[in-house]
Structure 1
Amino acid sequence: MFSPTDLRKDTLIDFEGSPYKVMEYAQKQMGRGGSIVNTKLKNMITGQVIDKTFRNDEKVSPAEIDRKTMQFLYSSGSNYSVMDQESYETIEVDNSIDDSVPKYIVEGGTIDALVYDGKIIGFDWPKNVTLKVVSAPGADKGNSASATTKEVELETGLKIQAPQFIKEGDVIKVDTRSATYLERAK
């Protein structure tokens, strides 16, 4: 149990018997030393988003969520298959849980799954991933006066804007929160 003032964005909590993820968080000071915490919470099972205000004297429970390393096997229609790295069990996951899996991970890659009551309810993404550029148009000659970008396609099929100097075969880092180019991978 912890105080609502300890909440931060992406914290997983148990609220009304279900796991919720804190999407937004704002603490507001009230008169006489008290404070309230306004949050926007997303139910990790149903996807429902609610607004909840906590008083400073309330207690919040962390969600009892396990993290398991899974291997991404393939995507087919509205599902994708992952394999538990410990039991080698293949699990079908509905892409409504997290539709960004095929964008940021290649077949055979690993990802941490969030498991609640034996069921996958989401994935824990790193802040950035490293992907290979498979298609990039040539740079415009003489167009170096401004920081221009071009659309490149990555090995997962994701298309993002990248600087003109990026070419086919380069390996780049991509921000998973905004699907934007960060830098060349070292």
Structure 2
Amino acid sequence: MITSNDLKKGLTIQYEGSIWKVLDFQHVKHGRGQAIVRAKLRNLRQGNIKDLTFRAGEKLETAHIETKTMQYLYENAGQHIFMDLETYEQIGIPEEKIEDELKFLKENENVDIVTYEGEVIGASLPVKVQLRVIETEPGIRGDTQSGGSKTAKLETGAVITVPLFVNVDDVLIVNTEDGSYDSRVQ
């Protein structure tokens, strides 16, 4: 048990029968009134984001989630198969649970699988991954790193915005948290 005063980014709590991860929070004190805590939370089961307000000192239940590094193997009939690197046991995760992560996940990549009391909640990718461009408009000679942008399709199927100088077969470093271009691998 914790209180709303103890909230911090990345903490997981049980609230309204679901598991929530704290994305952001703010302590607010109004004149003579009671202090409150405003929090932005992500439902780890459904993926939706909700803004909630708690009274200062309100008791909250922590949720102890576990992570285990597993290797992504392949997709089979809407199930994505991952292998435990220690026991070689394989599990299937439905596409709906890891839809956002699949945009940046290649076969044979290692990811952290997040579980709560044995229930798979999702996957946690590294903040930055390297992906190859498979489709984009040709780069124009003389384009510099500053200037316009265009879209590029990556080997995983994700479409991101990139600078004009990026070409097909370039390997890019992509931020998985917001799907943004970070840099080009030289």
Aligned to 1:21: 21
Do residues 157 (structure 1) and 157 (structure 2) align?
yes
Q: Which amino acid aligns with 2:178?
A: S
Counterpart CA distance in 1 for 2:185 and 2:76 is 30
Q: Which runs of 5+ in 2 are unaligned?
A: none
TM-score (norm 1): 0.82
* Secondary structure in 2 matching 1:99: helix
CA drift of 1:10 comes to 4.0
CA drift of 1:110 comes to 0.8
1:75–1:102 Cα contact (<8 Å) kept? no
CA drift of 1:72 comes to 0.9
TM-score (norm 2): 0.82
Deviations 1:11-52 (A, max 9, x none): 311335642223453332133484211234444335566554
1:136–1:152 Cα contact (<8 Å) kept? yes
Do residues 38 (structure 1) and 28 (structure 2) align?
no
Counterpart CA distance in 2 for 1:176 and 1:77 is 25
Q: Which runs of 5+ in 1 are unaligned?
A: none
RMSD: 2.7
Q: Which amino acid aligns with 2:101?
A: V
Counterpart CA distance in 2 for 1:48 and 1:137 is 34
1:36-115 equivalences under 5 Å are 36-46=36-46, 51-115=51-115
1:73–1:80 Cα contact (<8 Å) kept? yes
1:152–1:161 Cα contact (<8 Å) kept? yes
Q: Which amino acid aligns with 1:181?
A: Y
Counterpart CA distance in 2 for 1:150 and 1:42 is 31
| C-alpha distance 18-151 of structure 1, shift in aligned 2 (>3 A) | closer
